Amino acid sequence: MPTRITMGMKMNTYRYNLMQSTNTLNDSMLRVQKQRKFNSYAESPAEATQAWRVRQDFMDNDSFKRNTHDTYTRFQTAWLTMGSVKTHLEDATGRTAIIRGMTDTTAAAKTEVGGVLINTADTIIQAMNGAKYGEEFVFSGTDGSRAPFSWNETTGDLLYRGVSITPPDYNNGWKDLGMDWGTTLGEDGIPKDFFKKANYDKIPAPEYEVVEPGNTLATSKSNMEDKKKAMEVKLEALEKLGKEEPPLPLHPSQNLEFFYTDENSDEYKQAEEEYNKYMDKIYKPYQKAKGEYETAVEEYEEAKEKYDTEVSKKEWYEYFQNMRTLNKMSEEVQYADLGMGMKEITDADGKTKMISSTIFNNATPGINMLGYGVDEDGDPKNLVLIMKELGELLCSCDEQGHYPNEGDEEKAFRLFAKFDELSALTLKGYTYTDVQGKYLQSNETTLKDQETNLNEQIADLEKVDEAQAISMFMWDYSCYSAGLKIGTQLLSESLIDYMR
């Protein structure tokens, strides 16, 4: 006996199948309309997850691309500025001018070239300060809101972000002090064991560096001031005795005037008495006061020399302390996330640190372009300062074109050689910005390619094949229509229709 098929069953099944057919048609319709393979996560969790990942990458890529372009523009500004500095150094305002000035025997040429060099140095500083990307100064390292270089109006020092990079006066103690402190500069630009030997406990050490107590600027200053006071007291005492030094009279015995006068004569005795009186009352006290004053002067000068030496040492101490700050400024990093996988690691102390290979460093500190520090000769390792110094030296030549001091010519040649060296540093900076710019360009291109690639992946994962989607829709539509047709036939004739 076959299964009974009743009208109710047929209706049940029909309703169920028609609903399925409607659903399928609806899905196909959505696919065609939205052109998506899936319209909910649940439809295809695996594909949706994959698509989500790709979309995340796409959003990141978009940001990387934009920031790469920004960074590129920043480096382009730096590159252009360095290009202009390079031109200054190479043409008539720079190297060529120096050669002309140094080889020309006329005084006019030397002073003119000297002036040009000083002006060029100023121009370079202005160019470096003028390099801005948006509101940010390109060469200020991580202090982009402020101009990188400035001149101290009082001392005339060149400052980078407020910290002096002009070395103290070479003639005021460097050579002598160098003997004491060691003249071999370390990699950090600081004489080896400098701080151990500096012994400055009266000057605060930045960042709480522990220094051994020792020599004191304050002691030598007070000593000098004491001596000066003593000297002034002696001078006052001396001046009280008379403005002019009293002459030394002759003793009657040596005075020809009394050559024939008897020693026992009254005249002689009176003269002798007057002599003694003068000597005791005027001459000797003056001489004594004079001697005391001269000793006080000597002592003062000695103390002053010591103080000056201390001041000079202090200046060098500060200079080398600040060198550490400048070293830090030179190494500062300004991070940019350009799609290199920015990631941190945690060191043994639990401190997190950015992995340098995963970030791009935006910072182009100006001191890295122009140089800073001092060399063993006490000359600044800064291009602008060298140019200024050389310029001033050339300007100081007399009408005959002679340098004022012995050794100045030699110094001029030395400075020229160093100018060349520092120009190379600047060229390196120029090349650095160029190379970074090119890298950024290539990164941008890669990111653009990546964008296309990701777009394709998104399309592959999410977008429907239109031909397939439409044919599926047509098929589903036909099925649905057929289903409806069946519905009209469902309540078909039965035996009852044939009964009479």
Q: What's the closest the beta carbon of residue 211 comes to other proteins, in angstroms?
A: 12
* Sole binder of other proteins in the list 21, 28, 48, 228 (CB under 8 A): 48
Q: If binding is defined by CB under 8 A, does position 351 make contact with other proteins?
A: no
Q: Which is nearer to other proteins, 64 or 293 (CB)?
A: 64
Is 328 a binding residue for other proteins by CB under 8 A? The answer is: yes
Q: 353-372 mask for other proteins (x: CB under 8 A)?
A: -x----x--x----------
Q: Which tokens in the block code for residue 311?
A: 């001041």
- The binder of other proteins chosen from 123, 129, 166, 322 (CB under 8 A): 322
Rounded to an integer, what distance in angstroms lies between the CA atom of residue 107 and that of residue 418?
23
CB nearer other proteins, residue 1 or residue 256: 1
Token pair 């899905």: residue: 27
Q: What is the CA radius of gyration of the chain?
A: 46
Provide, rounded to whole angstroms, the least separation between the CB of residue 240 and other proteins.
39
Does 332 bind other proteins (CB under 8 A)? Our answer is yes
Q: Any contact of residue 203 with other proteins (CB under 8 A)?
A: yes
Mark 298-317 with x for binding to other proteins (rule: CB under 8 A) and - for no binding.
Answer: ----------------x---
Distance CA 72, CA 65 (A): 10
Would you say 296 or 440 has its CB closer to other proteins? 440
> Applying CB under 8 A, does 38 fall inside the site for other proteins?
yes
Contact 124, 384 (CB under 8 A): yes
Q: Does 377 bind other proteins (CB under 8 A)?
A: no
Rounded Cα distance between 451 and 63, Å, is 11
Query: Footprint of other proteins on residues 205-234 (CB under 8 A)?
Result: 206-208, 210, 217
Among 26, 56, 184, 445, indicate the residue that binds other proteins (CB under 8 A): 56
Report residue 175 as tokens.
């050579």
- Cα–Cα distances (Å) from 120 to 104, 197, 402, in that order, read 19, 39, 23
- In whole angstroms, how close is the CB of 20 to other proteins at the nearest point? 9
**What binding mask, one character per residue, do residues 63-102 give for other proteins by CB under 8 A, x or -?**
xx-xx--xx-------------------------------
Out of 112, 136, 225, 375, the only residue in the binding site for other proteins (CB under 8 A) is 136
Cα 410 from Cα 417, distance rounded (Å): 11
Dig out the tokens for 403 from the structure: 């340098």
Q: Which residues pair with 374 in a beta bridge?
A: 380
DSSP string spanning 265-306?
Answer: SHHHHHHHHHHHHHIIIIIHHHHHHHHHHHHHHHHHHHHHHH
Quote the CA–CA distance of 112 and 220 in Å, as a whole number.
44
Q: Does 321 bind other proteins (CB under 8 A)?
A: yes
- Give the Cα separation of 84 and 126 in Å (integer): 11
- Stretch of 30-38, 88-96, 389-397, 479-487 contacting other proteins, by CB under 8 A: 30-38
Contact 411, 138 (CB under 8 A): no
Q: For other proteins, which is the closer residue by CB, 4 or 243?
A: 4
Examine residue 60 and tell whether it contacts other proteins (CB under 8 A). yes
**From CA 195, how far away is CA 203, in angstroms rounded?**
12
Q: Which two tokens stand for residue 317?
A: 């101490």
